[in-house]
Amino acid sequence: MNYWLVKSEPFKFSWDDFVKKGGDHWDGVRNNTARLNLMKMKVDDLVLFYHSNEGKEVVGIARVTREHYPDPTTDDERWVVVDLAPVEKLPKPVTLEQIKADERLQYIDLIRISRLSVGSLDKPAFDMIIAKAYD
């Protein structure tokens, strides 16, 4: 199993919007590294849902339900989407400040490549972030 973090601006598409839809395809990615990460996602991989710009916090866990296929929002065949479904809302959000303050998490894409909209995580980082939601 792989672990990921996806970012969404909550005024465009929030966790609550995602839950109301029961899941959705993750579209609009136009960064090559993010595209490659989407292409590596496998069914049942776990994904942290991060509110960017407003809030700057991890708010929920999603699961990959369909592997990459052409992005229906563009005719450019390079771009892909995956389907995600909500798993659970975190009991309390985990802020970017909390993540930055943890020296053990300084290597993750969210910190190192802050503008990347789809980043990878390893299991220890995923587990540390989740644990912060239950502190």
DSSP one-letter string for 12-73: TS-HHHHHHHT-EE------HHHHHHHHH--TT-EEEEEE-SSS-EEEEEEEEEEEEEE-TT
Q: What is the pLDDT of residues 70-96, one digit of tens each?
A: 999 999 999 999 999 999 999 999 999
The Cα 130–Cα 99 span in angstroms is 11
The Cα 135–Cα 130 span in angstroms is 9
Look at residue 89 and give its three-state secondary structure: strand
Q: What is the pLDDT of residues 47-67, one digit of tens each?
A: 999 999 989 999 999 999 999
Range of the domain at 8: 3-134
- Per-residue pLDDT at 100: 98
- pLDDT band for position 9 (cuts 50, 70, 90): very high
Q: What is the pLDDT of residues 11-35, one digit of tens each?
A: 999 999 999 999 999 998 999 999 9
Q: What is the pTM of this model?
A: 0.96
CA dihedral 51, 52, 56, 59 (to 10 degrees): 10
Domain count for the chain, please give it.
Answer: 1
- 8: β partners: 51
CATH number of the CATH domain containing 40: 3.10.590.10
φ/ψ of residue 63, rounded to 5: -130, 140
